[in-house]
Amino acid sequence: MAVEPVVYGASERPPRGDYSRARDDYTCAQDWSAYTAQDHDTYHRLYERQSAQLPGLASQAFIDALPSLGAKERIPRFDDVNERLTRATGWQLVAVPGLIPEVPFFQLLAERKFPVTDWIRQPEEFDYIVEPDVFHDLFGHVPLLFNPVFADYVQRYGEGGLKAARLGACEMLSRLYWYTIEFGLIREDGALRAYGAGILSSAGELPYAVRSPEPRRLPLELLRTMRTRYKIDSYQQTYFVIDSFQQLFDLTAQDFAPLYAQLQGLPEFAADGRD
């Protein structure tokens, strides 16, 4: 069955993925045999470059779990990763053709299924890619799904997303995803480290996010985060910092409906954190 492709942002390009392969829930089969030697080589080179700069910049939980993805020389079969992941936290990876609409995305997360784009960028896009590809989704997101507390947070986020969709509050909740799961920073033993997938899969933003004096770094606070707009085409100008994954999980235990109501009356902050 053919589902509609999704385009976020102001992009003029059609999305890369072939959505005619997708089932009704937007998942598809990972066509592993279709990867070329060049695809595996791109993955290998991205993996090498990024894993080399993790010490001192990435959350320890991420570094510890990274080998669970399997051999770095080639794009893993998602089913192989699933043998380890499902045993660790009950999560499983499902292949998708690319970005999918919010409600099916939230639905998968609520079922502890993480959608992973199955295609990889072209060599000329080595440093920057507009849409998430398999390197971003797998290398960036999957290691922390091996952490039980973080894994529970992502599921709870999915459940919250389904509720936000019913309340017309997806945009506000998306900002929480952006500033935690994609671009979150954590303080570990007093030192700043990255745990967000958008940071961890980017060669340039990883040292920038953790060390540059340029961006603002604020303690994560729900209302503040959901009032802050974000940029999708540049390094972040504001990051939100947590003290532990438990803090993230506990913060989202509350009912968000009153927060959304409160947010309606509050001005937004620009992406640089100023009003």
Residue with tokens 């045993």: 87
The CB-of-140 to Fe ion minimum distance in angstroms stands at 6
- Measured CA to CA, the distance from residue 275 to residue 272 in angstroms comes to 9
Active site residue 234: no
Active site residue 136: yes
Active site residue 141: yes
Q: Using CA atoms in the order 14, 20, 21, 24, what is the torsion angle rounded to 10 degrees?
A: 110
x/- track of binding to Fe ion for residues 192-231 (CB under 5 A): -----x----------------------------------
Active site residue 131: no
Q: Which of 61, 93, 96, 142 binds ligand HBI (CB under 6 A)?
A: 96
- Measured CA to CA, the distance from residue 275 to residue 267 in angstroms comes to 8
Q: Burial level of 194, CB count in 10 A (0-12/13-18/19+)?
A: buried
Query: Taking CB positions, which residue lies at the least distance from ligand HBI?
Result: 174
Q: Which of 99, 169, 206, 209 binds ligand HBI (CB under 6 A)?
A: 99
Instruction: Report the candidate in 194, 180, 167 with the shortest Cα–Cα distance to residue 230.
Output: 180
- Region for 252 from its dihedrals, namely left if φ exceeds 0, alpha if ψ lies in -120 to 50, beta otherwise: alpha
Q: Which does 100 bind (CB under 5 to 8 A by kind): ligand HBI, Fe ion, none?
A: ligand HBI
In the chain, which ranges are E strands? 92-96, 113-117, 185-188, 191-194, 216-219, 238-242
In sequence order, which ranges of 53-146 are alpha helices (DSSP H)? 60-65, 78-89, 102-110, 134
Residues 105-124 that bind ligand HBI (CB under 6 A): 105, 115, 117
**Does 102 help bind ligand HBI (rule: CB under 6 A)?**
yes
Nearer Cβ to Fe ion, position 83 or 171?
Answer: 171
Q: Using CA atoms in the order 261, 272, 274, 170, what is the torsion angle rounded to 10 degrees?
A: -10
Residues 124-153 that bind ligand HBI (CB under 6 A): 132
Query: Distance of CA 210 to CAs 2, 23, 33, 205, Å?
Result: 42, 39, 38, 8
Nearer Cβ to ligand HBI, position 71 or 167?
Answer: 167
Q: Is 136 annotated as a binding residue?
A: yes
Q: Which does 99 bind (CB under 5 to 8 A by kind): Fe ion, ligand HBI, none?
A: ligand HBI
Residues 180-199 that bind Fe ion (CB under 5 A): 197
Q: Which residues contact Fe ion by CB under 5 A? A: 197
Q: Which residues are catalytic?
A: 136, 141, 182, 201
The annotation places the binding site at 136, 141, 182
- Residue ranges for the known binding site for Fe cation are 136, 141, 182
Chain residues binding ligand HBI by CB under 6 A are 96, 99-100, 102, 105, 115, 117, 132, 174, 177
